A and B are shown apart, each in its own frame.
Chain A
Amino acid sequence: MSEVIVVTSGKGGVGKTTTSANIGTGLAALKKRVVLIDTDIGLRNLDVVMGLENRIVYNLVDVIEGNCRYKQALIRDRNNSELYLMPCAQTRDKTSVSPEQIIKLVEELKSEFDYIVIDCPAGIEQGFKNAIAAADRAIIVTTPEVSAIRDADRVIGLLEAHGIQKIDMIVNKVRFDMVRRGDMMSVDDVVDILAINLLGVIPDDEQIVIASNKGEPLAGGTTTSGTAYLNICKRILGEELPVRDYMESVKHRPFANLFRRKHA
């Protein structure tokens, strides 16, 4: 039985595409058949992060408009024969596709893949509606910043309204040195505020930039982030793994002396 996962955030630049690429790579490394679908029509990037930009012949819009069969649009990953990418069109816009068409396509793909990972565009408009239409579960990517968490909260509300019950979260780009100094919200703070299940924590790691320079996602590799991504994938498969001990930080308690007696 296959599962459809949408990777979303609301805000742009928090790492949806990198997360999608790494989840796809990690799940494939765990011997699952995976297809990544880029739904960011007009601003595609997943092909670049995966290092597959030179192999695109057909795209998502071609498939939906019937210019080709879906198998013609799928690109096999360079390092993993079980991982495929369905790229999207760069010269069209989000209105070229409807949620119903995505649902129909995903239904076809289900016969062939264990996991269908959908990379959602930023925003909550048409592109978002297309991306979540067929999803069984969602992964929210956020960073410990006010704007990203605010958007994540809004998106969680929209996903719930759409009937998606399984919503997990990845806190990305955490700088533990800043958390320790008290200059960044901690992962606990984020979990407190959004009150959804924490799937994993990814540090703000230069290896991720290097990996995307090379077009090779690092999930499953020997780096800290590579291991963190692989553990996220194992949790997606249902394994009970404790979230990496990210709380080396000191917890600040500014409210501790707030409840002093008034007339004492």
Chain B
Amino acid sequence: MNTICMNSTGDYAKNRLMNILISDRIGCTPEIINELKNSISKTLNNYLDIEPSGIDIQINERVLLAAVPISNVYIKREKEECDSNGNGREEVQTD
């Protein structure tokens, strides 16, 4: 599912295996999982600035756990840091 380039076959195997186990456990194909992942990121994107390639979905027998990295948290923090240093070029939003 991850499109990153694996530099060792061991890591590649682990990644493949995790995808296989997810689909085995819930009984659907990797394509459907990919679709699920896409829908989740699409929906979340309506509310948050997320990193779609970083989404990690794990499924046990009864629980779906999704780790979704949020990007704009860092941006906000960076802006604040820039501002406090006195060299921020962008205007900081105020309430």
Contacts and interface: CB of A to CB of B under 8 A. Distances in A.
A263 B71 contact: yes
A254 B4 contact: yes
Contacts of A255: 4
A186 interface: yes
Q: Which interface residue of A189, A259, A262, A264 has the most chain B CB atoms within 10 A? A: A262
A183 B8 contact: yes
A254 B2 CA distance: 11
B21 A157 contact: no
Given A186-B10, A193-B14, A254-B11, A150 B24 contact: yes
B49 to A, nearest CB: 7
Nearest to B74: A261
Contacts of B51: 259, 262
A252 to B, nearest CB: 6
A182 B7 contact: yes
A157 B51 CA distance: 33
Contacts of B29: none
A153 B24 contact: yes
B9 interface: yes
B6 A150 contact: no
Q: Is the interface of B mostly helix, strand, loop or mixed?
A: helix
A185 interface: yes
Given A150-B17, A150-B24, A259-B69, A264 B78 contact: yes
A254 B54 CA distance: 12
Interface in A147-190: 149-150, 153-154, 157, 178-179, 181-186, 189
Given A150-B21, A150-B24, A254-B4, A182 B10 contact: yes
Interface in A184-206: 184-186, 189, 193
B14 A189 contact: yes
B75 A193 contact: no
B20 interface: yes
A146 B17 contact: yes
Contact of A146 (B16, B49, B61): B16
B53 interface: yes
Contacts of A262: 49, 51, 71
Contacts of B18: 193
A89 to B, nearest CB: 33
B13 interface: yes
Interface string A247-260: 00000101100110
* The 6 residue pairs across chains A and B that have the minimum distance between CB atoms: A182-B8, A262-B71, A146-B17, A261-B74, A182-B10, A183-B9
10 contacts: A144-B10, A150-B24, A183-B10, A184-B10, A185-B10, A254-B6, A254-B8, A254-B11, A262-B71, A264-B75
